Amino acid sequence: MAFTLRWKGERLTPVEVMHRVRGKLLPRPRHINTYIDDDAPAEALEATEFGRIYDSHDGARALKWLHYPEIYERHFGPLRGKPIRILEIGVAYGGSLEIWRRFFGSEAIIYGIDIDPSCAVHDGKAGSVRIGSQTDAAFLRSVVEEMGGIDLVIDDGSHDNRHIQASLDVLFPLLAEGGIYLVEDLHCSYWPRYSGGYAWPGAFYNRLKVMIDDMHHWYHGRGERIAATAGHLHAIHVYDSIAILEKRRVPEPVMTRRPKVGTAGAD
């Protein structure tokens, strides 16, 4: 049984108590709703196909930051019209699945998962929906097996840093070679109520820093610390609130010389 403390009538672990205290002492961030501007200039949306699809969407509710479409277009554009297997963590209102369907086309296999049973109403519309937790390893594996594998993961789930890491630990090893793993709304990584905080060790951004060290393990000799991505983390792209991991087997780096040694003009 885990050690707990009584905190204002609740039984909490020491880490949970620490989060509560930090949440009281640290500067309070702006409320998320203060960033919403439905009348923001649409030029950024009109610049990309995803943006145009999103801007014209009149189905179920969806929420996206204005700078996201350009990122989606850059990394997902080459996948459009192909029979790729997409898993989105977080269904909510169902609008996101509808937009992904329009963007990727009819050939894509799209699944969404959510812990909220009411999201089952969206099953069979723009994609398939399965109810379960993003931290349930057995559930995640069963969904991937049903899909026949995964080429793209979009984590737009709870945004809790612990949940993000738990999902990645299961799903990244199951991702196909050449696959893409995107985690969005990582501004939550800085907020205690999502098990994060500025320079907080458990925040996902700090895990990304460990991944960068792992990518360079050839040079520091300390090995790779994150088993889920070991040997297959080809690239990391970091944007405001989004991180994208590319999966590809990573061979030992080799340096070459030109002109070749022993040929004319070589030293």
Contact present, 131 and 119 (Cβ < 8 Å) = yes
Q: Given this model, what pLDDT does residue 213 score? A: 98
CB atoms within 10 A of CB 201: 7
Peptide bond into 259 cis (omega under 30): yes
Residue 121 vs residues 36, 94, 117, 165, 224: alpha-carbon distances, Å: 27, 9, 8, 28, 42
70 or 198: which leads in pLDDT: 70
The pLDDT value given to residue 43: 80
In the chain, where the domains are located: 8-247
Instruction: Fill in the DSSP letter of residue 127.
Output: B
Q: Where are the alpha helices (DSSP H) in the chain?
A: 14-25, 43-46, 49-55, 68-76, 95-104, 137-147, 161-174, 204-215, 217-220
- pLDDT at position 199: 86
Best CA proximity match to 19, nearest among 203, 228, 197, 249 = 197
Q: Which of 40-49, 156-165, 174-183, 233-242 has the lowest mean pLDDT?
A: 40-49
Q: Are strands 233-239 and 242-247 parallel, antiparallel or unpaired?
A: antiparallel
Mean pLDDT on 150-179: 97
Per-residue confidence (pLDDT) for residue 261, from 0 to 100: 82
Q: Is the peptide bond before 78 cis (omega within 30 degrees of 0)?
A: no
Q: What is the mean pLDDT of the chain?
A: 90
Whether the per-residue pLDDT at 201 is higher than 50: the answer is yes
Burial of 181 (0-12, 13-18, 19+ CB in 10 A): buried
Reported confidence tier of residue 10, pLDDT bands at 50, 70, 90: low
Q: In what order do the strands lie in the sheet containing 242-247?
A: 128-131, 109-114, 85-89, 150-155, 175-184, 242-247, 233-239
Mean pLDDT of 130-153: 98
Identify the H or E element spanning 128.
Answer: strand 128-131
Question: Which residues are tagged catalytic?
Answer: 159
How many C-beta neighbours within 10 Å does residue 238 have?
Answer: 12
Stretch 184-200: mean pLDDT, rounded?
91
CA distance 135 to 249: 26
| Of 144, 164, 185, 184, nearest in space to 228 by CA | 164
Per-residue pLDDT at 264 exceeds 70: no
Tokens for 8, please give them: 């204002």
Is the pLDDT score of 117 beyond 90?
yes
Pairwise CA distance, residues 30 & 204, whole Å: 20
Q: Residue 54 is which amino acid?
A: Y
The single residue listed with the structure tokens 């969005």 is 184
Q: What angle do CA 97, 103, 109 make, to 5 degrees?
A: 60
Cα(211)–Cα(261) distance, integer angstroms: 35
How confident is the model over 248-252, as a mean pLDDT? 97
Q: Which two tokens stand for residue 126?
A: 């723009």
pLDDT band (50, 70, 90) for residue 193:
confident
CATH superfamily, with its number, for domain 8-247: Vaccinia Virus protein VP39 (3.40.50.150)
pTM of the model: 0.87
**Comparison of pLDDT for 238 and 37, the residue scoring more:** 238
State the pLDDT at residue 42.
73
Q: Is the pLDDT of residue 267 over 90?
A: no
How many Å apart are CA 105 and CA 127, to the nearest integer?
11
* pLDDT tens digits for range 18-75: 555 555 544 556 666 666 677 776 787 889 999 999 999 999 999 999 999 999 999 9
Q: What is the pLDDT of residue 25?
A: 46
